[in-house]
Structure 1
Amino acid sequence: MQRNNIRSLVFIALFAALFIIMSSLTIKLGGSLVPITLQTLGVVLAGLFLSPRNAFLSIFIVIVLTAIGLPLFSGGGGIAQLTGPTGGFIFAFPFCALLVSLAVGLFLKTHSSKENKWLAIIIFFLIFELFSSLAAYIPGIPWLMHMTGLSFQKAMTVGFYPFIIGDALKSIVGTILAISLTPYIVYIRSSTIRSNKQDVEIQG
């Protein structure tokens, strides 16, 4: 049990660190308020490899550390960073990782990627595109409008349209990894889920 708990903590810390690294790789399009980063890919990987709880925690921990003042989101930190124009996206990320993990877990339970490889490719791509990318825009765009006073169309122009192709490419990368590493994904997810269940049984 203790070994499983340590394993879960290690994986949470590992994917939190991975998300931080991907957040630091930033490209700004002119004077755009929303930078291009690899954060979405970090969300994809956390949701792919970790149980729903651990996937959520791996991203949420980064938000907590940023709130304390550590410059972990695109080189910025503090409450101002979290409540700025991109705040809606930031707070969506833990929930996106949770949704990705739930969807991946459901798919892996009901289907084998070896049975129909093309079906698996399509399903994984849709999971990543819907839950790691598009889901973040649901709170992200309204918050961007609220903080900047931009109209919906203008907010979409600066906060959505420039990122469509990049989001799709990151979903493709996630899909390639999901298909290539399925046995490892199943092993890691099952080991951390067992740890979570044991924690619940002890608390009960």
Structure 2
Amino acid sequence: MQSNNIRSLVFIALFAALFIIMSSLTIKFGGSFVPFTLQTLGVILAGLFLTPRNAFLSIFVVIVLAAFGLPLFSGAGGITHLIGHTGGFIFAFPFCALLVSLAVGAFLHRFNAKGNKLIAIIVFFVIFELFSSLCAYVTGIPWLMHVLGFSFQKAMAVGFYPFIIVDALKSLVGAILAVSLTPYIVYIRSSTSSISTQGTAYKA
């Protein structure tokens, strides 16, 4: 149990660092309110490799550190940034990672995709698209409307529509990685879980 806790802390820190790195890779076009980042890919990877609790904590700890002023979100930090116009997305990310992890765990445990990687890619893609991308917009768009005083149509135009294709590409990359690295995913998830048989039904 103690070794599992140590491994959990190591992986939480590792994926927190990965999320920070992906948050720093930002493209912001002139006049755009929401930048293009790889944050949702970081959420995907955390949910893919970690158990639900650890996936949540790996993103949440970054938010906590940023609240103390550390510039962890595209070189910015502090409470002002966290409750700014992108705050709805930021605070959704830990829950997105948790939901991705729950869905991935259920899939790995119940579905035997041996010899049918295409189905696995499709399922992973749907999981990532729903829970790492679309779920973030559930809070992200209303908060964008609230902070900037945008109408729903305006918020969708600047905070959703430009990102549809990019989000789909990130989900596809995540799905391909998931199928390619399944044995490692199963091992890492089971090594940090009290349920050692987690994911054993899936055979790559």
Deviations 1:108-150 (A, max 9, x none): 0111232422211110000000000000000000000000001
1:12 aligned residue: 12
Alpha-carbon distance in 2 for matches of 1:150, 1:36: 20
Worse overlay, 45-54 or 115-124 = 115-124
Q: What does residue range 95-174 of structure 1 map to in structure 2 within 5 Å?
A: 95-174=95-174
Counterpart contact for 2:43–2:93, Cα < 8 Å? yes
More helix per residue: 1
CA contact (8 A) 1:5 1:195 kept: no
CA distances 1:31-84 after superposition (whole Å, capped 9, x unpaired): 111000000000000000000000000000000000000000111000001000
Q: TM-score, normalised by structure 1?
A: 0.94
Maintained 8 Å contact 1:88/1:144: yes
**Equivalence for 1:49:** 49
TM-score, normalised with respect to structure 2: 0.94
Q: Which residues of structure 2 form unaligned runs of 5+?
A: 197-204
Q: Find the counterpart in structure 1 of residue 74 from structure 2.
A: 74
CA contact 2:4–2:193 (8 Å) conserved in 1:
no
**Contact in 2 for aligned 1:43/1:96 (Cα 8 Å):** yes
Q: Which residue of 1 aligns with 2:32?
A: 32
Runs of 4+ more than 6 Å apart: none
Tell me, in whole angstroms, the C-alpha distance in 1 between the residues paired with 2:97 and 2:30: 29
Alignment RMSD, CA only? 1.2
CA distance in structure 2 between the partners assigned to 1:21 and 1:73 by the alignment: 9
| Aligned-partner Cα distance in 1 for 2:137–2:45 | 19
Alpha-carbon distance in 1 for matches of 2:11, 2:110: 25
2 CA distance for matches of 1:195 and 1:81? 38
In 1, Cα distance between the equivalents of 2:146 and 2:108?
A: 39
Rounded to whole Å, the distance in 2 between the matches of 1:157 and 1:111 is 38
Give, as a single letter, the amino acid of the residue that structure 1 aligns with 2:131: F
TM-fit CA distance, 1:30? 1.3
1:116 and 1:109 map into 2 onto residues whose CA distance is 16
Task: Structure 1: give runs of 5+ residues left out of the alignment.
Answer: 197-204
8 Å CA contact 1:13–1:58 kept in 2: the answer is: yes
Counterpart Cα distance in 2 of 1:29 and 1:164: 16
Percent identity of paired positions between Structure 1 and Structure 2: 80
In the alignment, does 2:61 pair up with 1:61?
yes
Q: How many residues align?
A: 196
**Amino acid in the other structure paired with 2:191:** S
| Partners of 1:173 and 1:113 in 2: CA distance | 18
